[in-house]
Chain A
Amino acid sequence: MQSFRSLLYRFSTMTTLPSSAPDSTVTKKPTRDVLLVSIWRGEADEGDFEAHSVPAHDNQTVLDVVSWVQQHADPTLSYRFACRVGMCGSCAMMVNGEPRWTCRTHVSKVADDGALTVAPLRNLPVIKDLVVDMDPFFDKWVAAQAVHHPSHSRADPMQPVSTQTPERISANEAIECINCAVCYAACDTVANQPDYLGPAALNRAWALINDEKDAARQEILDAVSGTGGCHNCHSQGGCAHYCPNELNPMASVAGLKRATAMRFFKGR
């Protein structure tokens, strides 16, 4: 898990900017050429939205807008990004009240009459401005046993894996997660139940349960059937609705509910 964290934290951008940058804090009405952008500044308990006028362009992403503010208006703005192409999962934020991967979210699709409100991800502690502490998110992955448990060593011959079994197909449907925490921010159960492991960790646990190379199926089922486990889910579907990679964590959680229930009825 350390590699996830190091990747995510490496890119909290803090660059210095030209002193001749235009004053974007003058609040104007949004027009066809100007976006009115409100960005959260401060920490979770103490802070406020700061308004900026940002030049509008074709094919502009929300991350482009945040970067413009940091590079031309306020160099002290903290936010997080890395790949800019929807692979690393670093740049998720709340955009007009909805969790989005900002590098692949076009302004034209989410702006309200040229207005954008950008806030840190919901359900995670705010470190500063748009940067949240991802530790609780990744700690829950570990708590859900959503880590690979090897069944073979490197000394063993390579294990053939059929791509056609129902289990492998289920695993394949859940493996493209980029750990962006958009589903975690969309989930009201996470908001109301701090112990809840959350859709991303449970989705990963479901992938591993269906992976014949994983050697700890029972341990995973133990981990996901406890107090904060899969049975907390109310199937509200925010995770599936907002997942930028179009995964369906709600279906994975439903699979875990079935697997844990079947194990219970079998007396294990």
Chain B
Amino acid sequence: MQRHRRHGLWLSFALHRLSGLGLAFFLPLHFLMLSQALGGAEALDTALRWTDNPLFKLAEWGLVFLLSVHLFGGLRLIALEWLPWTPGQRSLAAAAVAAAFALSTGFVLTAVVT
């Protein structure tokens, strides 16, 4: 990484952009999975059995992480551009990442316990 990019707000930008791309790649797979219902309940159940795989649980953790980091990063940007400026932008960016971790970790713990 080039040296001039090594600061919190640029990393927040990169995280927001990459999480958005990740979600864009996820959506077609999501719709493909749902479309299995068009072939009947049996076809959908066969596809859904994939989700019992532990690797899938890990992928779901990643998905929730992407969703939450993109959500909080987006809220940060909206706050930056539409609300009067506050000097704590870096703190907000860090809080967005922390909240994303907390949400996604909570989700994976819930998934493991149940």
Contact = CB atoms under 8 A, between A and B. Distances in A.
Interface stretch (A77-85, A147-155, A253-261): A253-261
B49 interface: no
Residue among B13, B81, B82 with the most chain A CB within 10 A?
B81
B50 interface: no
Contact of B9 (A236, A254, A257): A236
A17 B89 CA distance: 49
Interface SS majority for chain A: helix
Interface residues of A, number: 23
B80 interface: yes
A235 interface: yes
Contacts of A97: 2-4
Interface residues of B, number: 17
Contacts of B99: none
Contacts of B10: 188, 236-238, 241
Given A235-B77, A236-B13, A255 B85 contact: yes
Interface of B: 2-5, 7-10, 12-13, 77, 80-82, 85, 87, 89
25 contacts: A96-B3, A97-B3, A122-B4, A185-B4, A186-B4, A188-B10, A235-B9, A235-B81, A236-B9, A236-B10, A236-B13, A238-B4, A238-B7, A238-B9, A238-B10, A240-B9, A241-B9, A241-B10, A248-B87, A250-B80, A250-B89, A254-B80, A254-B81, A255-B85, A257-B81
